[in-house]
């Protein structure tokens, strides 16, 4: 999905997870951030129900989108990315990550979704660039130079 359009393809096997801010920046007014976000989304990363829900909320509150528009974009996001469902084992892993990683529960839920999906990269600006979790997942802030 790029700025409102889906690639319409199946997800790739690239083990990367995109946080909400990556999706939102595809709709920003900053050309550099749009380019970075679209580049990540074109690779069809893994996302979670949390990312989709947060995206819908930002579309409503900050971007002022009407219901049909934001629902259309959310459906395109769902169709264009690997999805992670909210289930008990994800919550259990998030609680573990919250304590061990000393991060907020909501950030831990994102990290847990990425870990349980087998991702090795988490694209986000909400955690320290280069930080690793469980020796498997590395945080990458793709907007550092954007």
User: Domain extents for the chain?
Assistant: 16-140
Indicate whether 69 pLDDT > 70.
yes
Q: What percent of the chain is predicted at pLDDT more than 90? A: 83
Q: Provide CB contacts within 8 A for 69, sequence distance 6+.
A: 59
- pLDDT of res. 3: 43
Burial 20-58 (b: 16+ CB within 10 A, else e): bbbbbbbbeeeeebbebbbebbeebbbbbbbbbebbbeb
CATH number corresponding to 16-140: 3.40.50.1010
Structure confidence by residue, pLDDT tens digits, 134-144: 999 999 999 99
> Are 56 and 92 in contact, with CB atoms under 8 Å apart?
no
Alpha-helical (H) ranges within the chain are: 20-25, 31-41, 49-61, 67-80, 88-101, 105-116
Indicate whether 14 pLDDT > 60.
no
Q: Which residues pair with 97 in a beta bridge?
A: none
Structure confidence by residue, pLDDT tens digits, 83-119: 898 999 999 999 999 999 999 999 999 999 999 999 9
Confidence of residue 127 (pLDDT cuts 50, 70, 90): very high
Indicate whether 32 pLDDT > 70.
yes
Confidence of residue 145 (pLDDT cuts 50, 70, 90): low
Average pLDDT of every residue of the chain? 90
Confidence of residue 146 (pLDDT cuts 50, 70, 90): low
Cα–Cα distance, 106 to 127 (Å, whole number)? 11
């Amino acid at each position: 999905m790029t700025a409102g359009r889906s690639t319409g393809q199946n997800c790739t096997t690239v083990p990367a997870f995109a946080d909400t801010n990556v999706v939102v920046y595809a709709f920003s007014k900053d050309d550099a951030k749009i380019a970075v976000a679209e580049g990540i989304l074109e690779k069809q990363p893994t996302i979670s129900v949390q990312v989709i829900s947060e995206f819908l909320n930002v579309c409503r509150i900050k971007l002022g989108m009407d219901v049909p528009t934001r629902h259309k974009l959310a459906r395109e996001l769902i169709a264009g990315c690997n999805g992670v469902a909210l289930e008990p084992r994800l919550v259990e892993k998030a609680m573990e990550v919250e304590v061990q990683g000393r991060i907020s529960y909501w950030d831990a839920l994102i990290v847990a979704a990425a870990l349980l999906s087998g991702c090795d990269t988490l694209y986000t600006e909400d955690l320290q660039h280069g930080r690793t979790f469980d020796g498997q997942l590395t945080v990458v802030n793709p907007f550092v130079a954007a």
